[in-house]
Amino acid sequence: MKLAIQSVIQEMMDKVMNRVLIQDPFLPEKHRAAKPLYAALVPDEIFKGSHFERRFVTPFGKVWEKLAVVAAQEGLGYGIMGHTIKGCIKAERLRRITEVLNNLEHPKLDQPRITPNWKQELSYIMKGKGENIPVQVVCDIYAENPLTKEKYAFELKAPLPNSDQTKVSKEKILKLHAMTPKKVDGAYFALSYNPYGRKEDYSWSFPSRWFDMQTDEVVLIGDEFWDKIGGLGTYQAFISAINEIGEEYKSRIYQEFLGIESIVSQQDFKI
């Protein structure tokens, strides 16, 4: 698993380095011409760092999904991105899913906003009857244990998702749980890591509009997700694998991009 994780990170970092050094380097002259006031007040090196950051952060979004597939293949046994799950949901259940989401999004006049409660919402939805309606859901990550035949779907997001992203994910997860017969043994809203440390301290407001981020059983944050998809210890294996190759890329960024000698010793990566 360690080698597979490192391979994903190295592929991304090599592409980032190629882009910032060759395809799209920071050009001081271009920066000064485009933003003369900024250039007059702030050293070029500050904006050079921002130039690198923008070209690093964007591709990292897909890396989390690739790493999740690696973890699933090494842990549960099988994993894939962007998998389509087809099934049937009773008509009234579909209507109730829309009702639940609308109530969370649009509080009634002169009434406090409804607090998300996964168990109550799902219980209400599952009581719905009616004809079976064909539905398909494309999940971010699909994982399966070939031995036990257990199947899982994950909506995997960056640690600070916006409200619209979370709403779409919740609708997908509710539909997966409402299918008859069930197509997965579990469907989850997962965050790649927790910038707040402990789960009980997670306080980003946007996803909290749709989930109780601390107590809803379908919410997995950081180590909960990685250990679920890859087995106990996956989270620590992930951290260890990144730390092993971190020094090399830090040195390259200092020397090749910033043009200075490394001035900071390696610090372990923690998420």
Q: What is the reported pLDDT for 267?
A: 54
List pLDDT tens digits, range 55-90: 998 887 788 999 999 999 989 999 999 999 999 999
- What residue spans of 42-90 are helical by DSSP H? 44-74
User: SS3 for 245?
Assistant: helix
* Domain ranges, ordered by start, for the chain: 1-75+231-271, 77-230
Contact, 135 vs 175, CB < 8 A?
A: yes
Q: What is the reported pLDDT for 270?
A: 56
User: SS3 for 78?
Assistant: strand
List pLDDT tens digits, range 3-27: 888 999 999 999 999 999 999 999 9
CATH topology of domain 77-230: type ii restriction endonuclease, domain 2 (3.40.1560)
Q: What is the reported pLDDT for 132?
A: 97
What is the distance between the alpha carbons of residues 215 and 201, in angstroms, rounded to a whole number? Answer: 12
Q: What is the reported pLDDT for 214?
A: 95
Ordered DSSP codes for 100-154 = HHHHHHSPPTTSPPPPP-HHHHHHHHHT--S-EEEEEEEEEEEEE-TTT--EEEE
Instruction: Give the residue ranges of the chain where pLDDT is below 50.
Output: none
Q: What is the reported pLDDT for 269?
A: 53
Q: What is the reported pLDDT for 187?
A: 98
